[in-house]
Amino acid sequence: MPSSDGAPRPGRIRQGDREKAYRPLSLAARQLAFDDGLEAYARGDFFAAHEALEPAWMGTDDLGERALHQGLIKLSAAYVHAVRANPAGIAKNLAGAQRHLALAGPAGRAWGVDVPALMAAIDDRLEHPGQAVPAPGIRRTTPA
């Protein structure tokens, strides 16, 4: 519950209509968590990717950056469900990834992720749920 003045509680940040965890981390620590998460994703260890990306998401108060990290977390979670042969979990998390990535704005460029290409790949998988596997690659760009 927000404080009486509408501000989030300590250790929380307002994202959309909800309060979410906020555990401030330096940019260097967030970058390390981000890189670890993308490395785990690239090798197909989607659970490790999800876990590694969480500190990057919780460690910033920049809403675009949070949306980018949370979109990648949802994408990783989708493929945790793929490993478990759960098509409903894949679809739900891919749709969640889309919602978050759509809010990432310039954070994708700043963090060196081709968000439009990733969203197109997710769209394709959502349109053809029987072909949701393999996981889309996360194309890296030169950070802006």
- What confidence score (pLDDT) does residue 5 get? 53
The answer to whether residue 144 sits within a structural domain is no
The answer to whether residue 21 sits within a structural domain is yes
Which residues have a Cβ under 8 Å from the Cβ of 27 and sit 6 or more positions away?
none
The answer to whether residue 90 sits within a structural domain is yes
Number of structural domains, the chain? 1
- What confidence score (pLDDT) does residue 2 get? 45
The answer to whether residue 111 sits within a structural domain is yes
Phi then psi dihedrals of residue 48, to 5 deg: -65, -35
The answer to whether residue 2 sits within a structural domain is no
Phi then psi dihedrals of residue 30, to 5 deg: -65, -40
In the structure, what pLDDT confidence band is assigned to residue 43 with cuts at 50, 70 and 90? Answer: very high
pTM for the predicted model, two decimal places: 0.88
The answer to whether residue 6 sits within a structural domain is no
Q: At 28, which CATH number?
A: 1.10.3450.10
123, pLDDT greater than 50: yes
91: containing domain: 12-131
Dump pLDDT digits (tens) for 67-89: 999 999 999 999 999 988 888 99
The answer to whether residue 4 sits within a structural domain is no
Nearest one of 111, 114, 125, 137 to 43, comparing CA atoms? 137
The answer to whether residue 25 sits within a structural domain is yes
CA distance 79 to 35: 18
